[in-house]
Amino acid sequence: MDLDLFRSELEQRLLMAKEYLIQELSSIDDDQERLELLGKFNDQYKELTKRIANENRIDLNAQYQSGDFSYEKIILGKTMDIYDKLADELYEEITSAN
């Protein structure tokens, strides 16, 4: 799978995960529990990365074409900005919901 397609697929799935967590906010009163949604989002990022790799038969531990880094490291580098942006948006939703 082309890494740009991987990135796009991950972005779509993370966007859905973020929207689901935002919906979950309305049922949570405790501020600490609300902030824990960020940890849940981080876990979803890791899980979705593994799932998409598995669906596309990408061995995350295998060396990428250049041989210097694993697919996992390359994918992390290509997708971290998406995660950061969506996590920041989620944080804004969490903190403004008070």
Q: Percentage of the chain with pLDDT > 90?
A: 86
Write the single-letter amino acid at 13.
Answer: R
Cβ neighbours for 66, distance < 8 A, ≥ 6 positions apart: none
Residue 10 has pLDDT above 70, yes or no: yes
Predicted TM-score of the model (pTM): 0.87
Q: Which tokens in the block code for residue 2?
A: 């082309």
Q: Is the pLDDT of residue 2 over 90?
A: no
Q: Could you report the per-residue pLDDT of 51-62, keeping only the tens digit for each?
A: 999 999 999 999
Tell me the average pLDDT of the chain: 93
The domain segmentation of the chain, as residue ranges, is 3-96
